[in-house]
Structure 1
Amino acid sequence: MKSLDHAALDCLIALIDEGNFDRAALRLSITQSAVSQRLRALEVQIGQPLIVRSRPLRVTSAGQVLLRHARQLQALRADVALELGETLPSKDRVAIAVNADSLATWVLPALQPVVDSGISLELIVDDQDFTHDWLREGRVLGCVSTVNTALRGCRLSALGTMRYVAVASPKLVRQQLEARPVLQAGHLGRVPFVVFNRKDDVQAQWVGQALGVNEPRLLQRYVPSSEAYVRAVECGWGIGVAAWPLVAHKIETGSLLRLHPDVHIDVDLFWHQWKLTADPSAGPAGSGLPSSVLDRIGQALASGALDLSASPRERAGD
């Protein structure tokens, strides 16, 4: 295959990230016509369509392959710029996918040194069971995921364990659970649960472990924000199964009560990143030098993810 035009590959990234031609052109500071021409030239060279012209734009299977290649080139350019002490171009953002609870607790402090070093990040948020899909599709260069198997051409490292516990407001416990922080199977038909989104199944996992009820049919109220989720539980919207770092202080102060303190769900988190090579034409599975940008991100996340599962008091009680 002939060498691919880097400017056209940048167009592909911009189109997928921005979702349409107008915003991609604005991001790249070129005309919409120029974006179309570069994409068309790339599709002619490959001999396959790369983008589905929908709203928003979607990448084809061939486009996913080139998208991964394009992002790897982008990260390698970032490596060179950092080593030379140059400022990274604003369009060269390193995209990684993280889960919402990690973003709301430990990810931002962990990544602060990376941002301070001049690396421009784009954080994509999805459920921890689905962030891996973004990596496989080439839409990000790394992800925090529950998947413990590396894709071909990727590296995997363990980050830590996020503990989830069931909590409810004193008002809900008083009114719905007869003033006792103990949920029983008979309550499931009338006591609502607060759920992050339709991908979220940690509530069902907790009910299965606490009550032995398989595939429970729960009354659900959806709140797709980690911080707002906890506030909704505090307001009595329902029982929540929340990440320990988000609710530990509220349990200590009594604004939330923990249900079945002996029951918790531990979710192991892993960092996945593409193995980038000094020669991008070798492909993602090449054995060249790893990207220092992704290594910095992975090392920062590994340092920031220590002791996620519980406070010292919590661990002492296990």
Structure 2
Amino acid sequence: MVFDRQQLETFAVVVELGHFGRAASALNITRGAVSQRINALEASLGTPLLVREGAVPTPPGEALLRHIQVLRTLEAETFKQIKPEASERTRVAIAVNADSLATWFESVACDIAKDEFVLELIVDDQDHTLPILARGEAMGGVSTENTAPIGFVAEHIGAMEYECVASPSFAQAHFAHGLTLHSILAVPAVLFNRKDGLHGHFLERLLGFPVSGYSTHYFPSPGALLAAIQAGVGYGLVPCLQARPLTDSGALVALAPNHKVSVALYWHHWTTAPANARTVSEKVMYHARRCLVQTTSALPSE
């Protein structure tokens, strides 16, 4: 079948804005016209594409949204080939975890944004970026998962190393005899958010058994988490790319220098991609292989 492009764009805008009324305003049409286009598209495909409350795509809707994203990117590439002097930029969305963005991915993002792209970064925990890709919201993403969603391929790009650190005064006051079970249960850890399972993995590997019952602070940004540890409110895991200058200077103390945690990262991208999308992937791979640890012994995803 041949898709109606007007219906496709209407569907995409509804999903992107999460609301029929806002989509109508963005498209400069009535809300009724938006509903008519969505209904006609669903009728032509013979399946629901949207959960009306929240404008959330169904699984068939997710597949269609991925098609629309590829189509938009391919059209931008074709237009650039026809009119290379045109100033219009290609819009790309990438899902990335906050720790990567605060360290190695920042240079990737700047490199992409300087190269005739309009970039949107969708930030989530590194274990939870794949649903963003599956819903068709991004053309690529960084994840700990090595199994790619339908329509994507996963390439190993290296590992992010984490160091367990504390301020010198906090370490002296609470960990003078090391990270023992008693000391771990007595003081708070600083985690990114409730989805952050890395600290639990670290303690289990350190002690040889799962640990629960320890108190936690949540600071949901890498900068705030690091600042909290430096301020002495707790201890926690920090990317080595952030921690190394501070441990070298004595501003932080490595609590378990022989027990760094390496987390394998994968770049998920479209299986079949136009040239401009391949350029984005090449930039990601280039920076990752310069900054991340290239090892096969990293912590795998569960």
Residue deviations 1:76-129 (CA, integer Å, cap 9, x gap): 11211332323337xx63222111111111213123332222111221111111
Match of 2:79 among 69, 78, 81: 81
* 1:223 shift after superposition: 1.1
1:214/1:24 CA distance change after superposition, 3 Å: same
User: Do 1:194 and 1:240's aligned partners in 2 also have CA atoms closer than 8 Å?
Assistant: yes
- Confirm or deny: 8 A CA contact 2:104 2:292 kept in the other structure: no
1:27 to 1:163, Cα distance in 2 relative to 1, 3 A: farther
> Which one-letter code corresponds to 1:167 in the other structure?
V
CA distance in 2, matches of 1:259, 1:293: 44
Task: Give how far 1:294 is off.
Answer: 1.7
Q: Does 1:49 align with 2:48?
A: yes
| d(CA) in 1 for partners of 2:275, 2:245 | 37
Give the counterpart of 1:115 among 113, 116, 122: 113
Q: Which amino acid aligns with 2:254?
A: R
- 1:15 is aligned to 14
Question: What is the aligned counterpart of 1:231 among 201, 224, 227?
Answer: 227
Deviation at 1:184, TM superposition (A): 0.7
- Please give the per-residue CA displacement for 1:188-233, whole angstroms capped at 9, x wherever unaligned: 2221111111211110111112222324333111111111111111
129-138 or 228-237, larger mean C-alpha shift: 129-138
User: Match for residue 161 of structure 2?
Assistant: 163
CA contact (8 A) 2:171 2:255 kept: no
Paired residue for 2:102?
104
How many pairs does the alignment contain? 291
In structure 2, do the counterparts of structure 1 residues 170 and 28 end up closer, same or farther at CA, with 3 Å as the change threshold? farther
Give the 5 Å matches for 1:254-293: 254-276=250-272, 290-293=273-276
Match of 1:303 among 278, 286, 289: 286
Structure 1: which 5+ residue stretches go unaligned?
Answer: 277-289, 311-318
Q: Aligned-pair distance for 1:271?
A: 0.9
Kept after mapping to 2: 8 A contact 1:188/1:218: yes
> Secondary structure of 2:100's match?
helix
- TM-score (norm. length: structure 1): 0.84
Percent same amino acid among aligned pairs? 35
SS of match in other structure, 1:166: strand
Residue 273 to residue 195, structure 1, CA distance change in 2 (3 Å): same
Is the 1:95–1:123 contact (alpha carbons within 8 Å) kept by the matching residues of 2?
Answer: yes
Q: 1-side partners of 2:204 and 2:153: how far apart? A: 33
Counterpart CA distance in 2 for 1:304 and 1:28 is 38
Q: Is the 8 A contact 1:111 1:297 kept in 2?
A: no
Matched AA of 2:179? L
43-52 vs 94-103, which deviates more? 43-52
CA-CA distance at 1:187 after TM superposition: 1.4
- Matched ranges for 1:114-153 at <5 A: 114-153=112-151
Distance 1:198 1:291, change over 3 A: same
2:19 paired with 1:24: no
The CA deviation at 1:164 is: 0.8
| Contact 1:95/1:139 (<8 A) preserved | yes
Secondary structure in structure 2 of the residue aligned to 1:305: helix
Checking the alignment, whether the CA contact within 8 Å between 1:142 and 1:273 is kept in structure 2 is yes
Once residues 264 and 10 of structure 2 are traced to their aligned partners in structure 1, the CA distance between those partners, rounded to angstroms, is 36
User: Partner letter of residue 51 of structure 2?
Assistant: V
- CA change 1:189–1:81 in 2 (3 A) is same
Q: Any stretches of 5+ residues in structure 2 without a counterpart?
A: 294-302
Q: 1:18 to 1:194 in 2, by over 3 A?
A: same
1:165 to partner: Cα distance: 0.9
Which residue in the other structure is 2:236 paired with? 240
In 1, the alpha carbon distance for the partners of 2:46 and 2:11 equals 15
RMSD over aligned CA atoms reads 2.1
Whether the 8 Å contact between 1:154 and 1:274 is mirrored in structure 2 is: yes
With normalisation by structure 2, the TM-score equals 0.88
Quote the Cα distance in structure 2 between the aligned partners of 1:29 and 1:244.
49
1:169-195 CA distance string (max 9 Å, x none)? 1232133224x5x21111122211111
Q: Distance in 1 between matches of 2:160 and 2:285?
A: 13
- Shift, 1:309, TM fit: 4.5
Query: 2:270 is aligned with what amino acid?
Result: W
